[in-house]
C-alpha cells in the first residue's frame, strides 16, 4: 500500500469504529462527494425536519389554523428551550427559552444585567469576541454613557481567568464573553471567570454559539448567570432558526427585559392588565414565536439529544485531534500555522489553520468541493460537527488543502 492509500485507510478505519457514524444517515446528503467542514456555521438538514415542517404547515397551519396556538405552538419557546437546556447546556428546566436572534437576545440580557447593577459604569469584553457581540455592547454603552473595557487576550488561547481578573473592579457591571472562540475554538473557563466576576459584584453573559451542542457547558454547575446561543450551527436548526437564551433561576425575578412584549406577560390573553412579566425565563420572550423555525430547531436538537453530549464531545475531540495530526504532517511544512489550542480539553469542535494566502486557498478549496470558512485576516476554519463529519472528510479536506498548497500557485514549497 502507498503512503497515500495507508493514510486514507486509517481514516476509513476510524469511521468504521465511530459509534456515532450511523447518525450521518439521518441527514439529507444530496452530494456524496461534498466535504462539508462548515457545520459550525450552518448545520446540515436533518431528514426528519423536512417531514416535520411539511406536517406543521399542512396540518397545523393549513387545517387547525389558529387552534394550533393552544394545541402546542404557545409552548414551543419554553419546550424547545428546556430540551436545549437539559440535553446540551447543563441547565435545569425553566431557565432556557428560544426567541429572536442571538444578537437580540444578547442585547436584552446585557441591558437587563446593566439595569440590575445601577451605578456601575463598565462592561468588559475581549477584542476577539464575535463582531455582533462587540457591536451590541458598543451600542449599549454608547446609549447609556458607560465604558467598554477591552481584554486583549492571546488570539489562540482566548481570554484566561487572569486576563479577566486584571480588568475587574467594583465599577464593572457586566462581563460578556464567548464560551468557545469563533476563530480559534479556545474554551473559556466558565466557572472560574464567573466566580471572579461574582467576587467583584458583576454579572456574566456567555455567548454559546460555538459551544452549544459540541462541548459541555454545565451552566448550572458553573454558577452561570446569563447565556445566549444560536440553533442553526451545531444544533442543525436551519437558516435563521431562532436563538436561545438562559437566565439562571436565582436572577429571574430581579431581571427585566428592555423589550416588554406580550409574550413575556403573565396571562398574556388577559390583555387589559399592566405589564407583569412571567416569573421565569419566559419573561425575556418578546412577540409571536417563529413556529416554523422553532420546530426545525427542535428536530435538530432531538438528534443531538439522542446521540448524547458525552458521545458528541468524545467524537469531536477525536476529529479535531486527527485534524491537528494531519495539519502538523501535511500543512505545517507548507508554511501553515495552527490557530487553535493543541490541548483537546482546551478547544471546541473546530480547528483553524493560518496561512498568508488563506483567502485564495479557501476559494480554491470550495472550487474543489471542500467547504471551510475563511476567517480574516489569515484563518481557514475547519468545522467538525460530530453527527455529520467523518474522519474521511477530515482526511480528504486537509489532503485537498495540502495539494493546493503544493501547486505552483499555492503556498511555500517545503
Ligand X SMILES: *Cc1c(COP(=O)(O)O)cnc(C)c1O
Q: In the complex, which residues of this chain contact ligand X (CB under 6 A)?
A: 101-103, 130, 132-133, 178, 182, 207, 209-210, 230, 243
- In the complex, the smallest distance separating the C-beta of residue 18 from ligand X, rounded to whole angstroms, is 26
- In the complex, the smallest distance separating the C-beta of residue 373 from ligand X, rounded to whole angstroms, is 11
412 — alpha (psi -120 to 50), left (phi > 0) or beta? beta
- In the complex, the smallest distance separating the C-beta of residue 176 from ligand X, rounded to whole angstroms, is 11
- In the complex, the smallest distance separating the C-beta of residue 317 from ligand X, rounded to whole angstroms, is 20
Q: Which one, 69 or 135, has the nearer CB to ligand X?
A: 135
Q: Which one, 265 or 340, has the nearer CB to ligand X?
A: 340
- In the complex, the smallest distance separating the C-beta of residue 130 from ligand X, rounded to whole angstroms, is 3
CA neighbor of 304 nearest in space, from 211, 189, 206: 211
Q: Which one, 231 or 388, has the nearer CB to ligand X?
A: 231
- In the complex, the smallest distance separating the C-beta of residue 150 from ligand X, rounded to whole angstroms, is 17
What residues are paired with 36 via a beta bridge? Answer: 371
Angle (CA) 249-229-369 rounded to 5° is: 160
Where in the sequence numbering do the catalytic residues fall?
130, 207, 232-233, 381
Pairing relation of β-strands 203-207 and 147-151? unpaired
Q: Which one, 43 or 357, has the nearer CB to ligand X?
A: 43
Q: Which one, 293 or 411, has the nearer CB to ligand X?
A: 293
Q: Which one, 85 or 293, has the nearer CB to ligand X?
A: 293
Amino acid at each position: 500500500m502507498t503512503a497515500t492509500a495507508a493514510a486514507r485507510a486509517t481514516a476509513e478505519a476510524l469511521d468504521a469504529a465511530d459509534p456515532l457514524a450511523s447518525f450521518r444517515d439521518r441527514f439529507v446528503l444530496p452530494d456524496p462527494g461534498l466535504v462539508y467542514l462548515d457545520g459550525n456555521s450552518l448545520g446540515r438538514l436533518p431528514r426528519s425536519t423536512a417531514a416535520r415542517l411539511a406536517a406543521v404547515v399542512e396540518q397545523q397551519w393549513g387545517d387547525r389554523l389558529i387552534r394550533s396556538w393552544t394545541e402546542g405552538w404557545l409552548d414551543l419557546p419554553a419546550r424547545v428551550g428546556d430540551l436545549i437546556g437539559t440535553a446540551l447546556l447543563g441547565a435545569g428546566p425553566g431557565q432556557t427559552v428560544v426567541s429572536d436572534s442571538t444578537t437580540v437576545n444578547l442585547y436584552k440580557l446585557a441591558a437587563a444585567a446593566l439595569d440590575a447593577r445601577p451605578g456601575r459604569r463598565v462592561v468588559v469584553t475581549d477584542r476577539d469576541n464575535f463582531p455582533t457581540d462587540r457591536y451590541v455592547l458598543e451600542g449599549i454603552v454608547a446609549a447609556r454613557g458607560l465604558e467598554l473595557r477591552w481584554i486583549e487576550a492571546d488570539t489562540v488561547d482566548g481570554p484566561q481567568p487572569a486576563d479577566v481578573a486584571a480588568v475587574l473592579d467594583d465599577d464593572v457591571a457586566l462581563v460578556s464573553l464567548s464560551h468557545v472562540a469563533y476563530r480559534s475554538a479556545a474554551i473559556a473557563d466558565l466557572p472560574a471567570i464567573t466566580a471572579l466576576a461574582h467576587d467583584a459584584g458583576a454579572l456574566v453573559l456567555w455567548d454559546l454559539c460555538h459551544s452549544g451542542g459540541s462541548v459541555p457547558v454545565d451552566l448550572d454547575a458553573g454558577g452561570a448567570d446569563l447565556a445566549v446561543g444560536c440553533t442553526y450551527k451545531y444544533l442543525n436548526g436551519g437558516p435563521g432558526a431562532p436563538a436561545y437564551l438562559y437566565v439562571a433561576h436565582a436572577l429571574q425575578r430581579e431581571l427585566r427585559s428592555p423589550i416588554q412584549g406580550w409574550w413575556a406577560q403573565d396571562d398574556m390573553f388577559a390583555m387589559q392588565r399592566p405589564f407583569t412579566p412571567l416569573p421565569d425565563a419566559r419573561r425575556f420572550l418578546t412577540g409571536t414565536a417563529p413556529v416554523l423555525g422553532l420546530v426545525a430547531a427542535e428536530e435538530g436538537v432531538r438528534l443531538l439529544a439522542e446521540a448524547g453530549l458525552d458521545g458528541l464531545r468524545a467524537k469531536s475531540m477525536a476529529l479535531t485531534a486527527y485534524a491537528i495530526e494531519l495539519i502538523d504532517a501535511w500543512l505545517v511544512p507548507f508554511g501553515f500555522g495552527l490557530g487553535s489550542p493543541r490541548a483537546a480539553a482546551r478547544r471546541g469542535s473546530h480547528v483553524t489553520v493560518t496561512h498568508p494566502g488563506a483567502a485564495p486557498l479557501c476559494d480554491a478549496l470550495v472550487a474543489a468541493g471542500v467547504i471551510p470558512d475563511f476567517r480574516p485576516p489569515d484563518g481557514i476554519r475547519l468545522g467538525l460537527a460530530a453527527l455529520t463529519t467523518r474522519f474521511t472528510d477530515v482526511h480528504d479536506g486537509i489532503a485537498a488543502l495540502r495539494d493546493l498548497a503544493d501547486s505552483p500557485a499555492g503556498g511555500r514549497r517545503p
